[in-house]
Amino acid sequence: MTYSIECMKQEHENISRMLEVIRQACIGILELSPVDVGDFRDMVDFIRNYADKHHHGKEEKFLFPVMVQKLGRVADNLVTHGMLVEHDLGRDHAMSLATALDEYEKNPKTEYKLDILTEAMGYARLLKRHVEKENNVVYTFAENQLTPEDLADIDAKSRKFEEEEGAKGVQDHYLGILERLEKKYL
Ligand SMILES: [Fe+2]
Ligand SMILES: [Fe+2]
């Protein structure tokens, strides 16, 4: 496995751990635990900055453009009409979840609690299937079909990006949030 695919698959595992936290936090709400708005804001922060900016960022900047450019129609369908559309749907869930949290904080009505559950679980379900498709289809296709030169180029860009993000403490920060929430909800 190449460096970047291994790195992104590891991130998928971390994202999947957060999806389980989200699921358990939603079950807690259904079982009448109070909504911890701060915890849900941390989930939104993780979704936006780790799953989206950090992880989808590498896919969108380094991997997907090369696939679309070099691998023809199949890659275009998989990426442009598949993965990128799903990234956008995830952003929409994150935005609607943030709005539902704002509304609930101002006015803790059942209606807004329902919106929190809907958007959080909508995101969790979307991302679970998205991760499976990338692990089993998209990444495998890229590794099998791209040239060693293209794969090496993607690796070099990913390594540089990981180092820059590491120097800012991004990965450690979001893994810290994940571990705190796992201790509380799992
Ligand atoms: Fe993706
Ligand atoms: Fe991904």
**CA of 25 relative to ligand 2 center, distance in Å:** 23
Position 16 scores a pLDDT of 99
Smallest CA-to-CA distance from 101 within 53, 39, 19 is with 39
Position 62 scores a pLDDT of 98
pLDDT digits (tens, 9 = 90+) for 103-133: 999 999 999 999 999 999 999 999 999 999 9
DSSP letter assigned to residue 36: -
User: Quick one: which H or E segment has residue 71?
Assistant: none
Q: Residues 159, 3: contact at Cβ < 8 Å?
A: yes
Candidates 3.30.200.20, 1.20.120.520, 1.10.600.10, 3.40.50.620; correct CATH number of 3-185?
1.20.120.520
Question: Which ligand is the nearest neighbour of the Cα of 135?
Answer: 2
**CA of 23 relative to ligand 1 center, distance in Å:** 20
**CA of 176 relative to ligand 1 center, distance in Å:** 22
Determine the Cα–Cα distance for residues 169 and 186; give it in Å rounded to an integer. Answer: 25
pLDDT digits (tens, 9 = 90+) for 46-56: 999 999 999 99
The average pLDDT across 129-146 equals 98
Question: Which ligand is the nearest neighbour of the Cα of 79?
Answer: 1
Position 26 scores a pLDDT of 98
Q: Residues 53, 44: contact at Cβ < 8 Å?
A: no
**CA of 32 relative to ligand 1 center, distance in Å:** 33
pLDDT digits (tens, 9 = 90+) for 62-104: 999 999 999 999 999 999 999 999 999 999 999 999 999 999 9
Average pLDDT of the chain is: 98
Q: Residues 132, 90: contact at Cβ < 8 Å?
A: no
Q: Which two tokens stand for residue 139?
A: 């990444």
Query: What are the boundaries of each domain within the chain?
Result: 3-185
pLDDT digits (tens, 9 = 90+) for 19-56: 999 999 999 999 999 999 999 999 999 999 999 999 99
Segments in the chain forming alpha helices (H): 3-30, 37-46, 57-58, 64-70, 72-78, 84-106, 110-133, 139-145, 148-168, 170-185
Position 119 scores a pLDDT of 99
Position 140 scores a pLDDT of 98
The average pLDDT across 3-23 equals 98
